[in-house]
Structure 1
Amino acid sequence: MAMFSQPSTKRQKTAKDSTRMTETTEHFPGISKIEYKGSSAPYDDTLCYRYYNANERINGRTMEDWIKPAVSFTAFKYNGNDAHGKPTFQRNWNDNSFTNENYKRTISAAFEFCSKLGIKYWTAFDSDLMPDADFYEELNVHFEDVCDFIQDLQQKSFAKPLWIAPDLHSNPRFASGAGTSCDANVMMQASHRVKKCLEIAQKLNAESFLVSSPREGYGIVLNTDVQKELKHFARLLKMSSDYKDRLGFRGQLLLEPYTNFKHSKQTKNNQHNTTMSYIYDPISSVCFLKHYNLDRQYKIVTDFGHQLYMSSAYNAVGSIELNDSNKLNLKEAVLLMKSFMENSGYQPGGINLKLTPTRDSVDYKDVFIMYIHYIDMLAKGLRISAKMLQDQTFTKNIQQRYSSYYSGFGSRLSNGEATLEECEDQFRKLHGQYTDNVTSGRSEHWEAVFENFISSCKLN
């Protein structure tokens, strides 16, 4: 693979030179737009979609609208390094320099990647889009410059942000948190980044705006005023919500708990976060938001599985985070998309694919194949879940299992109309004796039925 050639020292490149270069350079030569070929495609053809047909309608909505996959720009900085070894590849768009030109090349490559994948959404932290700065005015110039650059790319590719987020964790100044820092100056600097990112989110027509929380916590309680830090973090979120309204930004505000970062490949390998997190998982996030009366302004970015089901029960799901280190299999994909369909999708919804190849996957095709595989798995899960809901075998079983709550005194219990005294009277009249009998949930049976159903599904 050709390495990126360093700029000549004889002539300093200008911003216009850099922009012209990113517009004309093809970062993935030899790779055409990925097409849908259906399940009849040869089994060794891995550069096509077998199940993801973006415009195909399922249960009244397109596949693209149900899944809404997004490409994480964060993953485009990964170079194969881990805790046990140095980088194994260098992409032609990234020379590892902290210059505007290098960031613009990376953004240009990411847009080309989205276009060839046929994906209309992307996600990014501000640190994915531009270099940091030591001075207020310099940072503002970076924000405005990158916003103009992305707006030009969006007009040609039609890809837009699923969410944009300020990076409130990478810089050493946030070692003790951003909104929960013991230093008011740090919180002021964090607030400035939030303000500028909200402005970019509005200009780029982002679906959502994300506040992440991997550093919002404490190391030891001996030097920490926990209540004050929680109050300050809530204040940062409230200021963000207020400015969103003044700005006229109509996107959804999102809060991302620590567990999403815990599952990240980079975080697991480097083990860099040892804080006791205030916003550990979706449940603690919901409690925090409700306690500070922010639950109407913010929704949660959650993992699939248990965290998704609990967040959904609280009507708090704003988006899904899918990391390649937290492996997704077909059964989980079916249950994920079933949850989507039962809730008519999550608005604004979307699945952020933060995927990085293995250290020895140095070919550009490997990156495409990885994203195609995950998107296809979600699409296959969507097709199967639609058949499950149509079949109603599982739905009827759940209804039958809870049938005692649908009529008689059970319905009064379920609707909150009964009192403890009435429960006692009803128990004395109808039963009068405690029983140790347990009704089988038949879990093994339904696990087997589920696997048989997946195996028997005939998909297009």
Structure 2
Amino acid sequence: MNFYLHKDAVKYEGPNSQNALAFKWYNPSQQVMGKSMRDHLRFAVCYWHTLCWPGGDPFGGETFNREWHHMADPMKAAEVKAELMFETLRLLDIDYFTFHDLDIAPEGKNLQEFNANVSAIAKILEKQMAKHNKKLLWGTANMFSNRRFMAGAATNPDPDVFAYCAAQVKHALDVTHGLGGENYVMWGGREGYETLINTRIGHELHQAGRFLSLVVDYKHKIGFKGPILIEPKPKEPSTHQYDYDVASIWGMLKSYGLEKDVKMNIEQNHAILAGHTFEHEIALASSLGIFGSLDLNRGGYQVGWDTDQFAMNVPELTLMMLEVIRAGGFTTGGMNFDAKIRRQSIDPDDLLHAHVASMDACARGLLNAAKIIADGKLDAEIAKRYSGWDKPENKAMLDKGASLDAIAARVHKDKIEPQPRSARQEYLEGLLNNV
């Protein structure tokens, strides 16, 4: 199918290029801190916003009028989407893609038909991946669109829904494993509740923990090597989401002993809706040992909703990349463009422009973060601020053998009277602005 007007793969032409479909900052082979930009950033194109979203919103219908959205044969439409995914990857020179099972194949009349459809399209994907040398960053199951999931998926009050989810996730994980997926994402989308007057919150939390445990057990059974990822998602669509942020999910992982098998897939827009920054959620996940992957987008800060805009804010992306580098970079994870063009951007090539501009913004963020680390001034200020903890008597306060009364006695003996010291925030913000 002829879809994009632009036919040549996007190339790096440097900051002075006037070509709108050329990389100005993203140079895949450029070495940054001993690793290529391609390996640092590990970009992925998502199926759902790129090929499945018709341009509608709660106040207006379809605006894109894509041909495959109106085909009489849904499997033929699925084949067209598969072909277009790999054309998109080729044009953008991106190695990875991501999908929900419902993105790649029609649901059919029942689960058996759905599984058969997914398996059939997976065979096409496998051939295309080999032909174009492309890879699957992660797969997942859509357990939120169908009305059966209106009260949640794994946390649904109906045990039949819980069982249905088990069957759907098993197949989606089998397909992801068969395609060499490097991760598998658990993202129910509706794992929460509207009101306590009809909810047993403790029961639903236990359902969530047990379901995740079952998935981890099955991952080991089939030899899936990648981590299971959870994507924190606050506020929407439920009033109270159980998977609200990194901290709340960490509590569940510790309760069920899953912290070694499950990591976080963190999204910028969700971090903001949870009242955090993107870099906070990355840094927290890293400090807890559960940093995995990123969904890259941004929100409309005045809207208070998950607008899934392409990430373009270089200062924000600089702070994000700083925390990714501090976390040791990606292993199996990467940067998935969970972002959609605006519903008024109706030209096919708008998809290419959006990805190229965001890739360039990420590359600039990476270069800025590398300069900050090489300069060393920021890290030196942080080290200085915490330098008191390097003294043996202060380190000892954090040991298991420490006691409150012994610490109090040392305060009196040494006449410790702390004096406030400036955190120098404005100086450091100026430092970052002058990278």
Same fold by TM-score greater than 0.5: yes
Please, which of 215, 219, 232 is the counterpart of residue 240 of structure 1? 215
Q: 1:257 to 1:386 in 2, by over 3 A?
A: same
Tell me, what secondary structure is at the counterpart of 2:257?
coil
| Residue 227, structure 1, aligned to residue 211, structure 2 | no
Distance in 2 between the 1:161 and 1:320 partners? 14
Kept after mapping to 1: 8 A contact 2:372/2:432: no
Whole-Å separation in 1 of the counterparts to 2:71 and 2:263: 35
Alignment of 1:232-271 (within 5 A): 232-259=207-234
CA distance in 1, matches of 2:312, 2:14: 21
One-letter amino acid matched to 1:450: L
> For 1:59-208, what aligned pairs fall within 5 Å after superposition?
59-75=33-49, 76-95=51-70, 99-208=74-183
Q: Classify 1:212/1:362 alpha carbon distance in 2 versus 1 (closer, same or farther; 3 Å).
A: same
- Compute the TM-score of the two structures, normalised by the length of structure 1: 0.86
Which residue of 1 is the match for residue 26 of structure 2?
Answer: 52
The Cα shift of 1:96 comes to 6.4
Q: How far 1:416 sits from its partner (Å)? A: 5.5
Q: For 1:252-304, what per-residue CA distance to the aligned partner results, in whole angstroms no more than 9, with x for missing partners?
A: 11111223xx6xxxx7xxxxx23411111111111111111111111111132
Query: Is 1:292 matched up with 2:267?
Result: no
CA deviation vs aligned residue, 1:220-275 (integer Å, no higher than 9, x gap): 2222222222222222211111111111211211111223xx6xxxx7xxxxx234
C-alpha distance in 2 between matches for 1:136 and 1:381: 44
Q: Quick one: distance in 2 between partners of 1:46 and 1:305?
A: 29
Q: Residue 96 and residue 81 in structure 1: after superposition, are their counterparts in 2 closer, same or farther (change >3 A)?
A: farther
* Structure 1 unaligned regions, length at least 5: 1-24, 268-272, 454-460
Q: Say if 1:96 and 1:399 are closer, same or farther in 2 by CA, change over 3 A.
A: farther
* Structure 2 residue ranges without an equivalent (≥5): 268-277, 301-310
1:310 and 2:284 equivalent? yes
Q: How much does 1:418 deviate?
A: 3.6
Q: In structure 2, which of residues 247, 251, 262 is the aligned counterpart of residue 283 of structure 1?
A: 247
CA drift of 1:67 comes to: 0.8
Structure-2 change in CA distance of 1:217 and 1:98 (3 Å): farther
Alpha-carbon offset, residue 417 of structure 1: 5.5
- Provide, for residues 39-92 of structure 1, a one-character-per-residue CA deviation record: whole Å limited to 9, x for no partner: 1213xx220111111122211211111111111111122222222222222124
Deviations 1:328-359 (A, max 9, x none): 51111111111121222132221111221122
For 2:64 and 2:230, how far apart are their aligned partners in 1? 33
Asked if structure 2 preserves the Cα contact closer than 8 Å seen for 1:355 and 1:370, the reply is: no
Q: For structure 1, which segment, 419-428 or 93-102, has the greater mean C-alpha deviation from structure 2 after superposition?
A: 93-102
CA RMSD of aligned residues (A): 1.9
Q: Show the counterpart of 1:8.
A: none
1:352 corresponds to? 336
Q: Which moved more, 1:293-302 or 1:92-101?
A: 92-101
Secondary structure of 2:172's partner? Answer: helix
Larger radius of gyration: 1
- Matched AA of 1:410: N
Q: Is the Cα contact below 8 Å between 2:5 and 2:348 reproduced in 1?
A: no
Which of the residues 355, 380, 385 maps onto 1:371? 355
What is the aligned residue count?
414
Provide the rounded CA distance (Å) in 2 between the counterparts of 1:97 and 1:37: 42
Helix, strand or coil at the partner of 2:153: coil
TM superposition shift of 1:414:
4.8
2:258 and 2:73 map into 1 onto residues whose CA distance is: 36
Match in the other structure for 2:304 = none
Contact 1:27 1:92 in 2 (8 A): no
* Whole-angstrom CA distance in 2 between matches of 1:127 and 1:307: 28
SS at match of 1:355: coil
Aligned partner of residue 318 in structure 1, secondary structure = strand
* Aligned partner of residue 228 in structure 2, secondary structure: strand
Q: Does 1:30 align with 2:6?
A: yes
- Give the letter aligned to residue 86 of structure 2: F
TM-score (norm. length: structure 2): 0.90
The aligned counterpart of 2:434 is 452
- Equivalent position of 1:336 in the other structure: 320
**Does 1:431 pair with 2:415?**
yes
SS at match of 2:378: helix
Residue 381 (structure 1) aligned with residue 355 (structure 2):
no
Q: Take 2:72 and 2:151, find their aligned partners in 1: how far apart are those partners?
A: 27
